Amino acid sequence: MNILLKSAKIIDASSEFHLKKRDILIVNGKIEKIAGKIDAPNKTTKVIALKNLHVSVGWFDSGVCFGEPGYEERETIANGLLTAAKSGYTDVVLNPDTNPVPDSSSDIVFLKNASRGHATNLHPLGTLTAKAEGSDLAELFDMKNAGAIGFYDFKGPVENPNLLKIALQYAQNFDGLVYSFPLDKNIAGKGIVNEGHVSTKLGLKGIPAFAEEIQIARDLFVLEYTGGKLHIPNISTAGSVKLIAEAKKKGFDVSCSVAVHNLRFTDTVLEEYDSKYKVIPPLRTNNDIKALIKGVKDGTVDFVTTDHRPMNIETKAVEFDNSANGTIGLESAFGTLNQFFDLETTIRVVTYGRERYGLPSESLEEGSRACLTLFDPTTEYVFEESHIASASKNSMFLGNRLKGRALGIINNGQAVL
């Protein structure tokens, strides 16, 4: 398919066309020409001329869940990838939140095969331990060879520090990325929200900030001893930002992410006991949000993930204590981030990070593969259920005013608008 983008403003700090309006001609999946004015070469060329059209390198999300296999009622791989495409994402890292979990090479092959032919690329994570039970390492090397780009017991901390030590040492043999979720279960106990004034007022059991921070401190000590590549997903506290900043100054090979909702909401939204705000890690305080945003700006926080986790209504429409953790976030991510940061920072946040996973970086220049996201950064609207493409509708962003929206993607020779 040949595609011609008309009068698109390019947002790419590494490009000579940064902040300039240009026509972009795409032929057979590659960017053939970028110029002030390009005429369609033939009648079969698809011309895309949209109001306030902006274009960047394709967006990348380091953490989504779909459900398939095992939880197809939440989301299938096919609809999940279509949702990601409509939300502007050309590449997503798939969390091992399935039944069964992907802990072998055959499981990774299944996920890769199920994602073939879609505009959005799916990059699966395998579990760190067999059946994600935290006892024995899974088939890390075999999964890596099958296409796994990292190893993670989804939202499950590595409770045994010796197991983390062995994993980091072993994974160095094949440049594997090891995840460790930041939570000390013994300190968190049966907590379900941030421990503080709000949890006391509402009578809900809390998870103190240091339950996250003490686990990160332990993991960093292990990393200092072993070497290797460590990723800490979904940090949520100011103390966590400080610990990781100090580790990076020491030269540790550590990265981290924060979920979009942990940049937007504080635990004060819990006062109506609405289960759509129940997530792990929990929503924290305004001081934590300020530190996290600062960490994103200065590069301490490497990724802002949507932490997209569809959940069927039966798991959410119950008492707060008994409801499942998770919110969807793909559809609302850009419109939320674009409120916190200037446009160039927002685009950096949503495009950075492929290299950490050993994936090739993308560029917006003539001769490059066409991996592009189309978007309008200025339109403002109230996020409603009609904006949700996911099968599940459990979004804590419903009713919020957003700024900017994705218009679609061009990737793998396809255009999804």
> Which residues are the active-site residues?
307
Judge whether 46 and 63 are in contact, CB under 8 Å. Answer: no
Judge whether 150 and 357 are in contact, CB under 8 Å. Answer: yes
Cα angle vertex 198, ends 193, 202, to 5°? 85
Judge whether 237 and 206 are in contact, CB under 8 Å. Answer: no
Distance CA 110, CA 94 (A): 13
Distance CA 94, CA 97 (A): 8
Cross-strand bridge partners of residue 22: 8
Token pair 């240091």 is at which residue?
210
